[in-house]
Amino acid sequence: MTEIGYLGPKGTFTKLAVDTAFGDEVKQSFQTIPECIDAVDNGAIDIGVVPLENAIEGTVQITVDYLIHQVRLPVVAEIVVPIQQHLLVRKDFNGKLSDIQEVHSHSHAIAQCHQFLHQNLPHASTVFSTSTGKAAEIVSEQNEPIAAIGNKLAASEYGLQIYKANIHDYPNNHTRFLVLTKDRDLVQIKHEAHLERTSLLIGLPSDKPGALHQILSAFSWRKMNLSKIESRPTKTGLGNYFFIIDVDQPYDNVLFPGVKAELEALGCEVTILGTYPVYHMNI
Ligand SMILES: O=C(O)C(=O)C[C@]1(C(=O)O)C=C[C@@H](O)C=C1
């Protein structure tokens, strides 16, 4: 039976994404994103689902860096889900907002609610946890005036109440999750794909004038639509970067090999990270 790993424990957004995409398959929770990716790599599980990017806070850097520098796994699908952040407290908490001393959550969830916290809980300290589900678990176990930021699944899993709903700072909050596996045939998502996307990693030989312009030209004159470009440090010294580029079309045997050859002629190193369908889902 196919086993699917996710950032746990129960009640995380990743779990919601996995449940929506994979229904009743067997699932295993991991405490960190690298542990989940390692488990796919060493065969302990078949598929891993990890957060990649949030509409408010941007890239989940540990995911990108781990996939670039430590474990290269094929990306075979992307799941996009709406994210609604709520302020969760124990059911026996009946104080005021100003009584809350600590707010626990994943750093990305705290960042998505930064303005809310700044305006409504300026006196409370923020405490980072490994996930929103973990934060909810911590709050459920302590008889203290503390709160977690998380989703409604976390509220029901840990017996918490939603003290204030939808505290994320901007509407239209979504997170992209990557589905990673060595065996593409294992992944069957019963939804209609929104589009096909291809992600590339491009390394420059050295910093030189016009390098980025030349890279972008290779896509531009072929009329290939880029939906994201991001630089990440190569970790070899200040000023050295990789570019990660998302192209909103599937890999083909004409345009992509053409881009690759053109960029390699410029001295760039080009790696295809994956070509995959993108599913937009409601949770
Ligand atoms: O902590 C969780 O619930 C997660 O699934 C992680 C994560 C993230 O890393 O971005 C996923 C979705 C939300 O953007 C907030 C947190």
**pLDDT confidence of residue 175:** 98
pTM score? 0.96
Give the start-to-end residue ranges of the domains of the chain. 3-83+173-186, 86-164, 195-276
Mean pLDDT throughout 57-85? 97
Q: What is the CATH number of domain 3-83+173-186?
A: 3.40.190.10
- 110-144: per-residue pLDDT in tens? 999 999 999 999 999 999 999 999 999 999 999 99
The whole-angstrom separation of Cα 44 and Cα 51 is 20
From residue 42, give the alpha-carbon distance in Å to each of 6, 14, 71, 77, 173.
Answer: 15, 21, 10, 20, 33
Task: Please check the confidence at residue 70 and state whether its pLDDT lies above 80.
Answer: yes
| CA distance linking residue 97 with residue 66, whole number of Å | 38
195-276 placed in CATH 3.30.70.260 = yes
Average pLDDT, the chain: 96
**CA 224 / ligand 1 centre spacing (Å):** 31
Atom of ligand 1 nearest to the CA of 17: 5
Cα dist from 247 to 62, 200, 224, 250, whole Å: 22, 8, 7, 8
Ligand 1 atom with least separation from CA of 15: 5
Tell me what ipTM this predicted complex has: 0.97
What's the CA-to-centroid distance between 22 and ligand 1, angstroms? Answer: 18
Give the residues surrounding ligand 1 with Cβ less than 6 Å away: 7, 12-14, 51, 54, 60, 83, 106, 108-109, 131-133, 175
Average pLDDT for residues 86-111, to the nearest whole number? 97
- 120, burial (CB in 10 Å: exposed 0-12, middle 13-18, buried 19+): middle
And the tokens for 98? Answer: 């100003």
Given the candidates 1.10.1420.10, 3.30.300.30, 3.40.190.10, 3.30.1490.190, the CATH classification of the domain at 86-164 is 3.40.190.10
Ligand 1 atom closest to residue 151's alpha carbon, by position in its atom list: 3
Domains 3-83+173-186 and 195-276 share a fold: no
Helix (H) or strand (E) holding 18: helix 13-22
**Ligand 1 center from residue 53 Cα (angstroms):** 9
